[in-house]
Structure 1
Amino acid sequence: MYRPQIEMGKPLFSGIHTFMHLPHVQAVENVDFAVIGVPFDTGVSYAVGARFGPSAIRTMSQRIRPISPVHNIDISEYLSGIDYGDLRVYPGYIEQSYEVIEEQLTPVFEAGIVPILLGGDHSISLPHLRAAAKKHGPVCLVHFDSHSDTGRSKFPERMWSHGAVFSYAVDEGLIDAEHSIQMGMRGSSFKANHLEDARAMGFEVLTTDDVRELAIPELCDKVKQKVGDRPVFLTFDIDFLDPVFAPGTGTPEVGGFNTYEAQKMLRGLAGLNFIGFDLVEVLPDRDTNQITALNAANIAFEFVCLLAVRRRLEQAAAEDAASVMPAL
């Protein structure tokens, strides 16, 4: 079992900055989840610098300990986890980077490991989804963001961008759009009713106003009903948060959510069949007092907790089933 290398009395600021003090190994045996950095931002449309996001998130994860009082769970009792390090990328060469990201993630998925990717810009979700679909087929997308990222190129050829990642994923059959949901969309646009493009692809799209009109438990129930027990890929763009809580991002939109709301939304999804996560668009150069990286690190911890809760539920179900089996 791999677990955080921390203990009472040992300074949390000491040692190499892996995520949550997890051991830095590139193993695929006896591993349940792997935190993986993808330092790539060639797909951005505005401000660059998210390539430094994984490093900043790891640094601000040092005070995160393995027990979640909210879920009443010690993640290390249920999961073996590692910091896999950073994937190889080619800055400035997006298609080549997509290919090598997919290539490196494929054995992770084949081993049954759930990757938690730290971006990088949101374009990294496309090779992530390509690798996931090889193992699981089309997956349900649960998408927290201020943008739908379902743009289209004006030209016959694709124009790779973090703003078009999910339209291309639908085109390639990587996403089960009819059982997917996007939430938090807001901000100005180039055309009226721009979210209708995403809805036409099959996504359920909730604007920030739509989300605000629901109580958080209602929102979480809506997500659960949408995806059921199908394989779920959760992607979280840090600009889902209001710029007050995430100034360090390349495309901020005012009128967003606070950290407590985001935590509650994620915690309410416990029990779903998550097969992959990514957290993207942290841009340290714009990050006042490292608050964005701190919030990103804690959101990634919530991802780990979701996996631990699912494992606990599975183990309890197996024990219940065993207890009612007739003796031979």
Structure 2
Amino acid sequence: MPLFLPFTDTEITTLLSPRAGEQKLGQTLQAFADPISTADQYVAELQQAKNQGVRFVIIGIGEDIGPRANLGRGGADDAFNATMAQLLNLQSNRFLSGEQLLVAGQLDTTAIASESDLTTASLRNEVEKLDELVINAVTPVFEAGLEPIIIGGGHNNAYGLLTAAKQACGKKVAAVNLDPHSDFRPREGRHSGNGFSYAAASGALGFYHVLGLHELKNSEATFAQLEAFGGSWHSLQSIWIRQEVSLNHAIDEVVGKLNSTQLPVAIELDVDAISKMPSSASTAAGIPLMDALRYVYRVANETSAHYLHLAEAAPKCHVAGVEAGYKEVGQSMSELIYAYIQGRQACQYLG
């Protein structure tokens, strides 16, 4: 079975809107010439891309079984396509050359059962299979010295990403997560609400901080479990409502903690933190997109960030319909990706 669904020049051409006198990212970025069917081929292609100047590898995960296994809404399976439709048509210029980007494509999840009539227990079993698929796809990216940018799917995929980073780096990973939910729920079977608790139990997660945690969207049992691990948080209410601490000061604290661990850093973002963003758990009481961009940029710029994970975007959940959802998700995700790349390009971290 191919590791990725085809995303070659043919697929790029269908999404690209060229304009005379302009050069779009879709005209300069790299993609695999042929579908990846073996592990050796994948490793060789990644090394070739690195030799040609690639630094960032964009990978889509088209699934929503994690949120549904968490008794939530589906729809997180189409964020990659929405993002590519916008990202490929941004300008390739002095600020960002597409030559630094490899779009690997979307993981082939066709072997993962996702039928709407599956029981919760069955969905959770399928999430475990998805974990292995994510680990196998992302570990070689880290081993090649490249930085993955993961788009789409539920936040359950944080477990596979953290595990892959630990396997490749030989160290536990320090994660910061902009999210109203801690996703540190009991280990009752894999789903989108316990990726970090499973990663902590497996030894992949060495440090964990939640930024923008909603004080009433996390159970007391979850708070107790997070505290027992040594996790920390700044709540949504403390920053944006009570204004006990500014966003920049909160990020200062987080950056200091991350750097003190001397561990590889994972930047996690559940887009349901962003106000009215179409997602599996959309919220009116969210934060501005500009603040999310600031978070991504600063952590990428000031720590040993190894990857960016943008989870839970669900275009079909937009209140105005799928077309509006595609546009909003595509534009927002593209801006978040660029914020990460900007931060990494000018990284100040010297540890």
Structure-1-length-normalised TM-score: 0.80
1:80 equivalent in structure 2: 100
* Higher relative contact order, structure no. (Cα contacts within 8 Å, ≥ 6 residues apart): 1
Question: May I ask how many residue pairs the two structures share in their alignment?
Answer: 290
Whether 2:64 is the aligned partner of 1:64: answer: no
Select which of 267, 286, 294 maps to 1:264. Answer: 294
SS of alignment partner, residue 112 of structure 2: coil
SS of alignment partner, residue 74 of structure 1: coil
The 5-angstrom pairing of residues 191-202 of structure 1 reads 191-192=219-220, 194-202=222-230
Amino acid at match of 1:250: S
Q: Name structure 1 gaps, 5 residues minimum.
A: 68-72, 318-328
Pick which of 120-129 and 89-98 moved more.
Answer: 89-98
Amino acid at match of 2:100: S
Maintained 8 Å contact 1:183/1:211: no
Aligned-residue offset at 1:65: 3.3
1:252-282 CA-partner distances (Å, limit 9, x unpaired): 2332101122222223331311111110101
Amino acid at match of 2:154: D
Aligned-residue offset at 1:190: 7.3
Amino acid at match of 1:87: L
1:183 equivalent in structure 2: 211
SS of alignment partner, residue 210 of structure 1: helix
The separation in 2 between residues aligned to 1:192 and 1:230, in whole angstroms, is: 29
1:53 equivalent in structure 2: 79
Whether 2:340 is the aligned partner of 1:303: answer: yes
Aligned-residue offset at 1:193: 6.7
1:280 equivalent in structure 2: 311
1:323 equivalent in structure 2: none
The separation in 1 between residues aligned to 2:19 and 2:341, in whole angstroms, is: 19
Amino acid at match of 2:191: S
Maintained 8 Å contact 1:181/1:204: yes
Alpha-carbon RMSD? 2.7
Pick which of 187-196 and 22-31 moved more.
Answer: 187-196
Aligned-residue offset at 1:192: 4.0
The separation in 2 between residues aligned to 1:160 and 1:193, in whole angstroms, is: 17
Whether 2:43 is the aligned partner of 1:22: answer: no
The 5-angstrom pairing of residues 126-165 of structure 1 reads 126-136=159-169, 137-153=171-187, 158-165=188-195
Pick which of 161-170 and 182-191 moved more.
Answer: 182-191
1:10 equivalent in structure 2: 22
Select which of 167, 176, 195 maps to 2:197. Answer: 167
Q: Structure 1 residues 209, 110: closer, same or farther in 2, change over 3 A?
A: same
Amino acid at match of 2:74: V
SS of alignment partner, residue 30 of structure 2: coil
2:61 equivalent in structure 1: 38
The separation in 2 between residues aligned to 1:215 and 1:306, in whole angstroms, is: 20
The separation in 1 between residues aligned to 2:275 and 2:342, in whole angstroms, is: 23
1:135-175 CA-partner distances (Å, limit 9, x unpaired): 2211110101111001114xxxx411100110000001111
1:249 equivalent in structure 2: 279
Q: Structure 1 residues 120, 80: closer, same or farther in 2, change over 3 A?
A: same
Maintained 8 Å contact 1:140/1:176: yes
SS of alignment partner, residue 176 of structure 1: strand
Q: Structure 1 residues 217, 190: closer, same or farther in 2, change over 3 A?
A: closer
Aligned-residue offset at 1:42: 1.0
Select which of 116, 131, 139 maps to 1:106. Answer: 139
SS of alignment partner, residue 107 of structure 1: helix
Q: Name structure 2 gaps, 5 residues minimum.
A: 1-11, 33-41, 114-125
1:177-229 CA-partner distances (Å, limit 9, x unpaired): 2xx31111116447447433222211111110123332232122111111115
Select which of 212, 220, 227 maps to 2:251. Answer: 220
The separation in 1 between residues aligned to 2:133 and 2:222, in whole angstroms, is: 32
Q: Structure 1 residues 65, 230: closer, same or farther in 2, change over 3 A?
A: farther
2:122 equivalent in structure 1: none
Whether 2:158 is the aligned partner of 1:125: answer: yes
Q: Structure 1 residues 52, 91: closer, same or farther in 2, change over 3 A?
A: farther
Aligned-residue offset at 1:298: 1.0
SS of alignment partner, residue 63 of structure 2: coil
The separation in 1 between residues aligned to 2:291 and 2:308, in whole angstroms, is: 19
Moved over 3 A (4+): 4-8, 62-67, 187-194
Maintained 8 Å contact 2:182/2:218: no
2:268 equivalent in structure 1: 235
Amino acid at match of 1:225: G
The structure whose residues are more often helix, as a share, is: 2
